[in-house]
Structures are given as structure tokens and as C-alpha cells.
Amino acid sequence: MNSLISKDGTKIAYKKQGTGPSLILVASAAADHKDAEQLAEQLANHFTVYNYDRRGRDQSTDSSNYAVEREVEDIEALINEAGGNSFLFGSSSGAVLALEAANLLKDKVTKLFMYEPPFIIDESRPRVPANYVQQLNNLISEGKRNEAVEYYMREALGIPAEYLEYMKADPSWKSMEEMAHTLVYDGMIMGETQSGKSLPVDRWEVTVPTCVMVGENSEPYFHEAAKSLVGLLHQAKYQLLSGQDHSAVMMAPDVLANEMANFYLNLHQNLN
């Protein structure tokens, strides 16, 4: 993998592949570049793809004073490496980080793709506890990485406790434990947007063409969140992906890649 140095000195590792307009992949919570490798391969048929490890994950380093702005600076460093502007794709909480980057970096982000930003704006599922980030911090500081992943699974993803023992048998659980400290980061990125309240109307001034995608089989709150966000952005489209759910990045990378390519090509043809 290649690497670059972000503004605060953090090393950001990335893999570059493909040709065409640049597209940076922003991973979800408890994921690194390996989780998006198949998606990156599909997208490389249409774009120059930058698939990177977010800070604190796999081959990227970390710093002691985390802030969401530091992760935006990481994305900005990748954009500069790509030539000064880029498309962004983010999934789940990574979609919200991509949205924050588009809001702060303005014309450096020229297209935005989001898959299932996990806002909770109604009563269709339990809210994430108000002290969620603090609880994660406590578990991490006590060295309880396994318990931190469990807490994230229960409270943020809403996975019933009886399924967690089965999930622990999968090799991916160990990988999530290694990244457990970064679950705090995604909790900070989400902030109060998982508290059951309406999305803030003046938080994101994003005017670039945006595609907010949701799987047909995903829980209702994903659909309501996406529709609400689309209503707040200037050039946003809600797109339903037939037969898909929240695991589409790993389980249906071809479907996601085709949707993004079609969105881009349709915009390009309309401009011409």
C-alpha cells in the first residue's frame, strides 16, 4: 500500500487502482480497507479509486487527540494526492464522515455517494444511549475491547445479545477488537443524530450532486433517514437498491458500483 502524511502527522495508508475520476472510499465503523477491496475492484472499472485505512485502523497510524476534523483532514490529504478534487463514497457512519467532509471541504468534493447513513430520527428502533461515547471510552480505557465491540453491536447496530456469541466465532470479530478504540470516533461523528430527533436543517451546506442509497431489505429507519437527508440537501437523490440490506458493501459490491457509475454517467451526459 501507499501512504501519505495528514496535517497532524498521522500516516494514512491507501491503495490506488483504476482509471477515471478520483473516488475516495470512506469505511464504516469497525472496518478497514480490506472490507471494501471487492467494491474497489468493481469501481476501478470506472474511477481511480483510493481505498484507505481510516486513522487508527490496520496500516494507518493514529494521534492522541481525536476530533472529527482530523479525519476530514485525512480525506483532504487524499484529495490533494488525487489532484485537488475528488468524489467521495461512504457507508454507514462512514457516509456521515463523507458528508461532513463534503460540508467542510466544499469544492474539493465534486460528487458524494452515501450508503445507509445510520441516522435515527424516529421511534422505529431504539435510540443510541446519550452516554454511548463515554461508555465506549470507559471500556477501552479498561482494556475491555471485546466488551466494547459487544456494546457497539447492541447499542449502535441493534443486534440482539443472543446473536453475539455466534458472531464472536467469526474471524472478523478479532479484527473488530483491534479497531475497537476507533468505535469512539464513529460515535463522535454521529453525535446526536441517533437520538430520535429530526436532522438539523442547517448543519450541512452540501451543494454537489449526491446519491443517497438504501437497500430495499434494510430496516425502515435507514429509509426514513435517507429521505430526510435528501430533503435537506440541494442536489440529492434517494436511490433504492433492490434486494439489498446493510451489508451491500461486502455482499453486493457489483450492485453498488453499477449504481454509482450510472449516477455519474447520467450526470455527465446531462451536462453534455
Are 36 and 96 members of one domain?
yes
Which residues have C-beta within 8 Å of that of residue 106, sequence separation ≥ 6?
none
Are 82 and 8 members of one domain?
yes
Are 242 and 113 members of one domain?
yes
**Distance between CA atoms of residues 127 and 123, nearest Å:** 8
Are 48 and 103 members of one domain?
yes
Are 63 and 95 members of one domain?
yes
**Structural domains in the chain (count):** 2
Tell me 125's DSSP state: S
Taking a C-beta distance cutoff of 8 angstroms, is the pair 136, 187 a contact?
Answer: yes
Please report the pLDDT score of residue 161 as a whole number. Answer: 87
How confident is the prediction for the chain on average, in pLDDT? 96
Whichever domain contains 117, its CATH number is: 3.40.50.1820
Are 37 and 96 members of one domain?
yes
**Nearest C-alpha neighbor of 176 from the set 191, 156, 202:** 156
pLDDT digits (tens, 9 = 90+) for 198-216: 999 999 999 999 999 999 9
Instruction: Report residue 167's pLDDT band, with 50, 70 and 90 as the boundaries.
Output: very high
Is the pLDDT at 237 greater than 90, yes or no? yes
**Nearest C-alpha neighbor of 147 from the set 184, 194, 180:** 180
Burial environment of residue 264 by CB neighbours within 10 A (0 to 12, 13 to 18, 19 or more):
buried
Q: What is the mean pLDDT of residues 162-176?
A: 92
Is the pLDDT at 8 greater than 80, yes or no? yes
Indicate whether 197 belongs to any domain. no
Which of 189, 221, 238 delimits the end of a domain?
189
Handedness of CA 29, 33, 84, 70 (dihedral sign): positive
Q: Where are the beta strands (DSSP E) in the chain?
A: 2-5, 11-17, 22-26, 48-52, 86-91, 109-115, 210-215, 236-241
Secondary structure of residue 75 in the 3-state scheme: helix
Indicate whether 165 belongs to any domain. yes
Indicate whether 196 belongs to any domain. no
Taking a C-beta distance cutoff of 8 angstroms, is the pair 115, 260 a contact?
Answer: no
**Distance between CA atoms of residues 147 and 140, nearest Å:** 9
The strand pair at 236-241 and 22-26 is best described as: unpaired
Are 261 and 163 members of one domain?
no
Are 16 and 104 members of one domain?
yes
Q: In what order do the strands lie in the sheet with 236-241?
A: 2-5, 11-17, 48-52, 22-26, 86-91, 109-115, 210-215, 236-241
Please report the pLDDT score of residue 44 as a whole number. Answer: 98
Are 183 and 138 members of one domain?
yes
Indicate whether 217 belongs to any domain. yes
Indicate whether 154 belongs to any domain. yes
To the question of pTM greater than 0.95 for the whole model, the response is yes
Are 115 and 137 members of one domain?
no
Q: Helices 93-105 and 183-190: crossing angle, nearest 10°?
A: 60
Indicate whether 198 belongs to any domain. no
Are 99 and 59 members of one domain?
yes
Domain with 180 in it: 132-189
Is the pLDDT at 151 greater than 90, yes or no? yes
Taking a C-beta distance cutoff of 8 angstroms, is the pair 228, 220 a contact?
Answer: no
Please report the pLDDT score of residue 267 as a whole number. Answer: 83
Q: Helices 183-190 and 68-81: crossing angle, nearest 10°?
A: 100
The number of helices, as runs of H, and strands, as runs of E, in the chain is 11, 8
Are 101 and 227 members of one domain?
yes
